[in-house]
Amino acid sequence: MPVDQPIKLSVCIPTYNRAAFIGETLESILSQTNGSIEVVVVDGASTDGTPEVVASYQKRFSNLIYHRGAQNMGVDRDMATAVELASGEYCWLMSSDDLIKPGAISNMLKEIQSGAEIYLCDVTLCRPDMQSIRDTKFLSDHRSSNQFDLADREQFLTYLNLATSNNALFCYMCAILFRRSSWVNVGFNEHFSRTGYAHVFTLLSFIKTRCLVKYIPTALVLNRSGNDSFSNQGIEKRFMLDFDGYLLLAKELFESDTQVKRAFLQVMTREHRWYRLLKLRSAIQSGKAWKEISAKLLVFGYSGTTLAVCGFCGRFKALVDAAVFLNKRFADVFVVRWLRVRF
């Protein structure tokens, strides 16, 4: 390959203390690369063996850029730094513990020929050992197209109503590939630093100019469940990271359009359905604290009845833990029958 071959795609990986996983991640990517692909790893001052693992892959792949920060700046800033250091026409964000499927890069290289600003693919949810659980669907099957111009208000509303979770709005970083120049034009908003939603703000800001989104209803990424870096903060803080992040996004981007703001916030009710609120309630010790959170959740479109029932049932932690352990379909039947007995 020519040394000066232009970079078409940059895979951008923020990481911190993932030495146990990042090698497998890099292997899944490097086995599919050519001279038009680069990988950019930004390390938030890991204290484990991450630098050594990445160095071993740099010996095999000349287009692997490694940047180690002087201190841990958080995943939001490190993600933005990776994009800033990249030189590809498009960037694909990637977690340092997830994998891309064989053929995923060639698939994406074909897709980006259509010239959209953002591409969204489905993912396969896996156990920690990467055994497959199920594939996701980020948009409803009731859509009439896989392409949407989010800069068009009506198409954006249609897209919001089709979203099955907040991942349709770019929350899961590994499912999104975007035009780098559009990202650079928006830049990094320090107001979202350490919220976990800085990249979402940047991508949704594309709607101010041009924001053609193409949905790829194929799982191209393997998501390692149970390894969320935010989960060590506890269940309540993990849930509120989502809700507070969404409220901030809505305020910054859609405050002047009540209809769009409402439709945007309601997407979160599909991400965190009522049985997940039971889990949240079971982790909250104070009734007063739940009351305050409930007032916030009403803004998203949850009904008062749903929150009241979750508030009551969620106090029975053993029951909630048992229900969450079961699959969702059986948990629905189990809890509903229990409610009928109680009420």
**Is 52 part of any domain?**
yes
CATH number at residue 63: 3.90.550.10
Confirm whether pTM is higher than 0.75. Answer: yes
**Is 132 part of any domain?**
yes
* Ramachandran area for residue 91 (φ above 0: left; ψ -120 to 50: alpha; else beta): beta
Is 246 found in the same domain as 220? no
Is 239 found in the same domain as 224? no
**Structural domains in the chain (count):** 2
Domain range for residue 16?
9-231
Specify the pLDDT at position 229: 63
Is 137 found in the same domain as 53? yes
Is 267 found in the same domain as 152? no
**Is 305 part of any domain?**
yes
Is 116 found in the same domain as 16? yes
* pLDDT tens per residue across all 343 residues of the chain: 344 679 999 999 999 999 999 999 999 999 999 889 999 999 999 999 999 999 999 999 999 999 999 999 999 999 999 999 999 999 999 999 999 999 999 999 999 999 999 999 999 999 999 999 999 999 999 999 999 999 999 999 999 999 999 999 999 999 999 999 999 999 999 999 999 999 999 999 999 999 999 999 999 999 998 877 665 667 899 999 999 999 999 999 999 999 999 999 999 999 999 988 988 998 888 889 999 999 999 999 999 999 999 988 877 765 666 665 654 444 444 434 433 333 3
**Is 220 part of any domain?**
yes
Distance CA 175, CA 64 (A): 21
Instruction: Pick the last residue of a domain from 180, 203, 231.
Output: 231
Closest CA to 285 of 340, 339, 234: 234
Is 263 found in the same domain as 223? no
Instruction: Pick the last residue of a domain from 177, 198, 231.
Output: 231
Tokens representing residue 314 in the block: 């969620």
Is 98 found in the same domain as 225? yes
End-to-end CA distance of the chain: 71
Q: Can you list the alpha helix ranges (DSSP code H) found in 189-303?
A: 198-204, 235-254, 258-271, 274-282, 287-298
**Is 110 part of any domain?**
yes
**Is 4 part of any domain?**
no
Is 113 found in the same domain as 240? no
Is 296 found in the same domain as 205? no
Specify the pLDDT at position 317: 67
**Is 3 part of any domain?**
no
Distance CA 160, CA 141 (A): 14
Is 175 found in the same domain as 197? yes
Is 195 found in the same domain as 149? yes
Instruction: Pick the last residue of a domain from 169, 200, 231.
Output: 231
Secondary structure (H, E, C), the chain: CCCCCCCCEEEEEEECCCHHHHHHHHHHHHCCCCCCEEEEEEECCCCCCHHHHHHHHHCCCCCEEEEECCCCCCHHHHHHHHHHHCCCCEEEECCCCCEECCCHHHHHHHHHHHCCCEEEEEEEEECCCCCEEEECCCECCCCCCCEEECCCHHHHHHHHHHECCHHHHCCCHHHEEEEHHHHHHHCCCHHHCCCCCHHHHHHHHHHHCCCEEEEEEEEEEEEECCCCCCHHHCHHHHHHHHHHHHHHHHHHHHCCCHHHHHHHHHHHHHHCCHHHHHHHHHCCCCHHHHHHHHHHHHCCCCCHHHHHHHHHHCCCHHHHHHHHHCCHHHHHHHHHHHHHHHC
Is 247 found in the same domain as 215? no
Angle at 104 between CA 102 and CA 108, to 5 degrees: 160
**Is 2 part of any domain?**
no
